[in-house]
Chains A and B, each alone.
Chain A
Amino acid sequence: MNQFLSFVIKESRHILRDRRTMLILFGMPIVLMLLFGFAITNDVKNVRTVVVTSQMDGLTSQAVARLAASEYFDITATAASAGEAEALIRRQKADMAVVFAADFASKRSGLQFIVDASDPNMAQQWTAYATQTLLGGQAQTANLKMLYNPQMKSAYNFVPAIMGMLLMLICAMMTSISIVREKERGTMEVLLVSPVRPLMIIVAKAVPYLALALGILVCILLMARCVLGVPLAGGIGWIFAVSGLYILLALSLGLLISDIASSQLMALLLSAMVLLMPIVMLSGMLFPIESMPVVLQWVSAVVPPRYYIEAMRKLMIMGVGIGDVLKEVAVLAGMTALLLTVALLKFNNRLE
């Protein structure tokens, strides 16, 4: 027990001494939360619009005024012809053009949008908003109700994703590097020859990172609740329990990487490029899984954060009970058991 404690203390010192790494580890979640919470949005806002009209009659100027009054559009120029407007868009001076035909007033038709569609999603939203603004007032046939996220904040979607990514990064990458470093420096030889059991070395290495990960988890949840106003609808207890399971999984993955990698560089590259990239891309944190081709959907089925993020979205945002995320939890538990077994079996308590 004494040995175990001194191991944990040693490992914590390694972490605490490296100020810069600590700063990043705690700064990263805060900055990411702020960025995703405030800066990164898909809202339609400040769209630079060119109005093309040959004659400014009453109805046209009314429509233009409506456009200008809305918070979505900034009218930056008026052009005489569609060609001129297109040139403005090509030169990146405008995002879209609204072309009023000469007979706009009489027929209430002859309206054309010319949109820079290099970002297709935004282009569609712009036209939808512009149509609404110009021709609004039609009878509503549907009553829309946005469940769980009435203000459509992107933070609701991203908070669980950030948790999934950061916990994986800290646990898997940091643990694997710290083990590989001992191999590289030759201290592992002494540790192996000492009377301490190899299993204890590993557990003792994992404990401080577990604590660190929980600290960061608390930090993220506090930020989410207090700064971004994301509800923690589900039970806090379950959120921590599922996160605990996920952290364990990440630690096993880190151990597995350290078994395979022979140098710090390789461990870093393995965790950064082979681990982190698929997580970010295939876990559904940024890009919805159901829009992917079927093959990639299968691949994403083995990416652990997918289930964690899914479970967290349900638990935190939708506030469902643990009963509704049993499937995700079961998958995570199964993966943890598998990875841990493989990692421990592969752990070599000799050199070579």
Chain B
Amino acid sequence: MIIKHLIRKEFLQIRRNAFLPRLILVFPVVIMCVMPWVMNQEVRNVRVCVVDSDRSVLSQRMVHDIEQSDYFIFTGQMPTYRAALKEIERSRTDIVLSIPPHYSRDLALGLRPQVLIAANAVNGTKGSIGSSYLSQIVGSAASAMPTAAVSTLFLYNKHLGYKVFMIPALLAIVMMLMCGFLPALNIVGEKECGTIEQINVTPVAKWQFILAKLVPYWIIGLFVVTVCLVLAWAVYGIVCQGPVLLVYLLAMLLALFFSSLGLLVSNYSDTMQQAILVMWFFVVCLLLLSGIFTPTRSMPDWSYMTTYVNPMHYFIDAIRTVFVRGGDLQSIGHQVLALAGFDVVMCSWAIVSYRKNS
């Protein structure tokens, strides 16, 4: 078995490397322990300053409500709206609530006066969500009238925790870095030190050589997935809702795709620098267009079309279905097929593009 020897060689080389084993061990752990805290687009701790020209009981109550709220940090009162805007410019506050003079009197007279909420909208999400929270608080303070009876049932993620959303995404990112970048560097490395020439004069078949390069990274991939799942459970108490085997299946399909992509890139590159830049370019595009951070359905049509040829999109869709929504094989059937299709194409391409004889 030629391939056994080649695989053994890859493992030995990974083990001998001063940096790689540590990277493989530490990287997923760090990512899983730190990133869920970071990758958090919840809008919280929005700083509000109030320009209270009314100085009534009602305006006092609004300030009090803001102080009480979890979302807001009350940064103080400002004498004028102009001074408050200056505060925004200095980044000491994010939103200004300006209560006009005689607000509470006008309200009592039924004149429907309006407060002014001016938000720093450089970050659009934060600006809009923050100001709509604030207007809710103001609204409920202003009118004792109860809002219409609408109940909302949030499925799969009752507490609207962002971590549940992000952990499958992190799994994808870690797999991508481990199984994509490392093989890309591997072949270029052999090219640069000339050992590939020695291999090329041996009777090793192309597929054997390529497969031997891929297998170690798949095994590393399996290990990484396990680490991620265990950590998600141990640190955050988040467990996979669907069958865990499906997570492994999807992870393997993704690992196969990225490792073939890595080899493909390295077959066409002459230096490590080239390989890593090209790889990085592809990965960023695949990632951003996959719906990992933002919903794909919000995209304009032209970019939504690209998701059909983006394996990362299928993966993210499928893994969220399994991990968060508790889907079974049937519900992710077409994603699995699509991923498998991409794998076959990429793998064959990687094998064909590796040239033993020119």
Interface residues of A (CB under 8 A from B): 18, 20-21, 24-25, 27-28, 31-32, 35-36, 38-48, 86, 89-92, 95, 108-125, 127-128, 131, 135, 139-150, 152-154, 156-157, 174, 177, 181, 264-266, 268-269, 272-273, 281-282, 286-288, 290-293, 296, 310, 313-314, 317-318, 320, 324
Contact B45 A291 (CB under 8 A): yes
* Interface flags, B100-122, vs A, CB<8A=1, else 0: 00000000000010111111111
In the assembled complex, the Cα of A287 lies from the Cα of B154 at a distance in Å of 24
The answer to whether residues A24 and B295 also contact, given A131-B150, A281-B35 and a CB cut-off of 8 A, is no
* Interface flags, B137-167, vs A, CB<8A=1, else 0: 0110011000011111111111011101100
B residues near A27, Cβ cutoff 8 Å: 281
Shortest C-beta distance, B47 to chain A (Å), equals: 8
B128 nearest in chain A by CB position? A152
B residues near A127, Cβ cutoff 8 Å: 152
Contact B114 A143 (CB under 8 A): yes
Shortest C-beta distance, B46 to chain A (Å), equals: 8
Shortest C-beta distance, A220 to chain B (Å), equals: 15
Q: Is the CB of B124 closer than 8 A to any CB of chain A?
A: yes
A residues near B357, Cβ cutoff 8 Å: none
In the assembled complex, the Cα of A265 lies from the Cα of B154 at a distance in Å of 47
B157 nearest in chain A by CB position? A117
**In the complex, the 9 A-B pairs of residues with the closest C-beta atoms, listed nearest first:** A39-B303, A120-B160, A152-B124, A117-B154, A146-B121, A109-B149, A149-B121, A142-B135, A117-B157
Contact B324 A142 (CB under 8 A): no
Contact A146 B131 (CB under 8 A): yes
- Interface segment, B208-216, B217-225, B268-276, B341-349? B268-276
Contact B37 A293 (CB under 8 A): yes
In the assembled complex, the Cα of A285 lies from the Cα of B284 at a distance in Å of 15
> Of A25, A44, A47, which is within 8 A of B277 by CB?
A25
In the assembled complex, the Cα of A252 lies from the Cα of B18 at a distance in Å of 25
Contact B115 A20 (CB under 8 A): no
Q: Is the CB of B38 closer than 8 A to any CB of chain A?
A: yes
In the assembled complex, the Cα of A313 lies from the Cα of B280 at a distance in Å of 26
- Interface segment, B197-205, B254-262, B285-293? B285-293
In the assembled complex, the Cα of A28 lies from the Cα of B284 at a distance in Å of 9
Given contacts A24-B278, A142-B134, 13 further A-B contacts (CB under 8 A): A32-B284, A46-B298, A118-B325, A121-B41, A122-B295, A124-B160, A128-B132, A141-B115, A177-B272, A265-B19, A269-B19, A291-B43, A314-B89
Q: Is the CB of B27 closer than 8 A to any CB of chain A?
A: yes
Interface residues of B (CB under 8 A from A): 19, 23, 27, 34-35, 37-46, 85, 88-91, 112, 114-129, 131-132, 134-135, 138-139, 142-143, 148-158, 160-162, 164-165, 177, 181, 185, 189, 269, 271-274, 276-278, 280-281, 284-285, 288-289, 293-295, 297-300, 303, 317, 320-321, 324-327, 331
A146 nearest in chain B by CB position? B121
B residues near A111, Cβ cutoff 8 Å: 148-151
Shortest C-beta distance, B303 to chain A (Å), equals: 4
B192 nearest in chain A by CB position? A264
Shortest C-beta distance, A228 to chain B (Å), equals: 13
27 contacts between A and B (CB under 8 A): A20-B277, A24-B277, A40-B288, A41-B299, A43-B298, A110-B149, A112-B151, A112-B153, A113-B150, A117-B158, A118-B324, A120-B42, A123-B157, A141-B138, A142-B116, A145-B116, A145-B117, A147-B120, A147-B127, A149-B122, A150-B121, A156-B124, A265-B185, A290-B44, A291-B42, A291-B45, A318-B88
Contact B121 A35 (CB under 8 A): no
Shortest C-beta distance, A306 to chain B (Å), equals: 12
In the assembled complex, the Cα of A108 lies from the Cα of B142 at a distance in Å of 23
A35 nearest in chain B by CB position? B288
Contact B157 A112 (CB under 8 A): no
In the assembled complex, the Cα of A264 lies from the Cα of B138 at a distance in Å of 58
A residues near B300, Cβ cutoff 8 Å: 38-39
Shortest C-beta distance, A235 to chain B (Å), equals: 15
A residues near B288, Cβ cutoff 8 Å: 35-36, 39-40
B residues near A287, Cβ cutoff 8 Å: 38-41
The answer to whether residues A42 and B127 also contact, given A111-B149, A135-B148, A293-B37 and a CB cut-off of 8 A, is no
Contact B294 A41 (CB under 8 A): yes
Contact B119 A144 (CB under 8 A): yes
B95 nearest in chain A by CB position? A147
In the assembled complex, the Cα of A127 lies from the Cα of B154 at a distance in Å of 10
A residues near B139, Cβ cutoff 8 Å: 141-142
Shortest C-beta distance, A333 to chain B (Å), equals: 19
B153 nearest in chain A by CB position? A114
> Of A25, A40, A117, A272, which is within 8 A of B160 by CB?
A117
In the assembled complex, the Cα of A282 lies from the Cα of B37 at a distance in Å of 10
A residues near B277, Cβ cutoff 8 Å: 20-21, 24-25
Contact B148 A118 (CB under 8 A): no
In the assembled complex, the Cα of A115 lies from the Cα of B23 at a distance in Å of 40
A residues near B156, Cβ cutoff 8 Å: 116-118
B residues near A157, Cβ cutoff 8 Å: 122-124
A residues near B164, Cβ cutoff 8 Å: 118, 120
A residues near B128, Cβ cutoff 8 Å: 146, 152
Contact B38 A296 (CB under 8 A): yes
> Of A42, A113, A272, A293, which is within 8 A of B181 by CB?
A272
Shortest C-beta distance, A248 to chain B (Å), equals: 22
Contact A38 B320 (CB under 8 A): no
A residues near B298, Cβ cutoff 8 Å: 41-46
